[in-house]
């Protein structure tokens, strides 16, 4: 494929990846992750961004359901690495099993400080996975991958595979079917791209599955989180409006909000 026309169109590249994953065109998909082949949004997720957000903890209901489901999927014992600990909402969900050894990792010092105040007994590390010693039975990247530019994400997966113990699992969650173009603004004065969530790529179920396979992982399971509506007439009305909107957008009436993927490292990876 000639990627020349894609070198200045990051949103078209995002759509192209989804199509290539849908069509199982793995070679062409792999090529879109090579440096310089395709346009990318600039990295927006920085320590500075998350330091500024550290004091604004917001845990919507759908996030709590996603974290609760992740906790259910984890083994009862083993060393668990949480990449991008954020506000540490998953920590109390893991505390019921004494055999679990949790380690939280984040490049935001302010986030680490916030979590340390709430959970002083937990091991927390300020930094990134590239200099982290030891191996882990579980590595989690929950709502992390969408923040990583395409030409760096395969290296991120490689570092995870290196730090997984034999028989270990990688648990990853990503938002699905995001309108990346609608979420991203360009400053007319300086030409800088801004996305308040720091997302630089969007995902479909097929794309996260294909991406992990390209990185040398086998998919063990994939779960989905859907919108929750209150009971009664108001809930039924909201559900109907959302279903109609999703049908018009082409995602279907039951389009999931997030994917939860459990993967293992291939023996030859």
**CA–CA separation, 82 vs 148, rounded Å?**
16
b/e string for 56-92 if b means 16 or more Cβ within 10 A?
Answer: eeeeeeebeebbebbbebbeeebbbbbbbbbbbbbbe
The string of pLDDT tens digits covering residues 179-188 is: 888 888 776 7
Give SS3 for 165: strand
Mean pLDDT of 146-159: 96
Q: Which residue has the higher pLDDT, 66 or 191?
A: 66
Report domain extents, the chain: 42-227+259-265
Percentage of the chain with pLDDT > 90?
Answer: 57
pLDDT in tens, 59-89: 567 888 899 999 999 999 999 999 999 889 9
Question: What value does the mean pLDDT take over residues 217-245?
Answer: 72
pLDDT at 86: 87
Q: Is the pLDDT of residue 266 over 70?
A: yes
For residue 252, what pLDDT band results from cuts at 50, 70 and 90? very low
Confidence of residue 254 (pLDDT cuts 50, 70, 90): low
Ramachandran assignment for 68, one of left (phi > 0), alpha (psi -120 to 50 degrees), beta (any other): alpha
φ/ψ of residue 81, rounded to 5? -105, 125
Q: What's the fold here for domain 42-227+259-265?
A: Rossmann fold (3.40.50)
Tell whether the model's pLDDT for residue 247 goes beyond 80: no
The rounded mean pLDDT for the chain is 85
Q: pTM for the whole thing?
A: 0.85
């Amino acid at each position: 494929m000639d990627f020349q026309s894609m070198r200045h169109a990051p949103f078209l590249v995002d759509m192209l990846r989804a199509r290539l994953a849908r069509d199982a065109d793995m070679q062409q998909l792999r090529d879109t992750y090579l440096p310089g082949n395709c346009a990318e949004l600039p990295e927006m997720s920085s320590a500075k961004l998350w330091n500024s957000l550290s004091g604004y903890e917001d845990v919507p209901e759908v996030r709590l359901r996603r974290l609760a489901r992740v906790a259910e999927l984890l083994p009862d014992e083993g060393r668990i690495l949480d990449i991008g600990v954020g506000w540490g909402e998953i920590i109390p969900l893991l505390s019921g099993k004494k055999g679990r050894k949790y380690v939280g990792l984040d490049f935001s010092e302010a986030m680490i400080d916030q979590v340390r105040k709430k959970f002083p007994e937990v091991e927390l590390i300020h930094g990134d996975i590239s200099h982290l010693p030891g191996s882990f039975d579980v590595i989690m990247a929950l709502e992390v991958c969408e923040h990583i530019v395409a030409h760096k994400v395969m290296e991120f997966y490689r570092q995870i595979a290196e730090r997984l113990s034999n028989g270990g699992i990688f648990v990853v969650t990503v938002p699905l079917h995001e309108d990346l173009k609608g979420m991203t603004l360009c400053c007319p004065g300086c030409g800088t791209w801004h996305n308040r969530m720091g997302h630089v790529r969007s995902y479909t179920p097929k794309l996260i599955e294909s991406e992990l396979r390209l990185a040398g992982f086998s998919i063990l399971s994939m779960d989905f989180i859907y919108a929750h509506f209150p009971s009664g007439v108001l809930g039924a009305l909201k559900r109907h409006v959302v279903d109609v909107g999703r049908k018009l957008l082409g995602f279907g009436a039951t389009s999931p909000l997030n994917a939860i993927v459990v993967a293992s490292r291939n023996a030859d990876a």
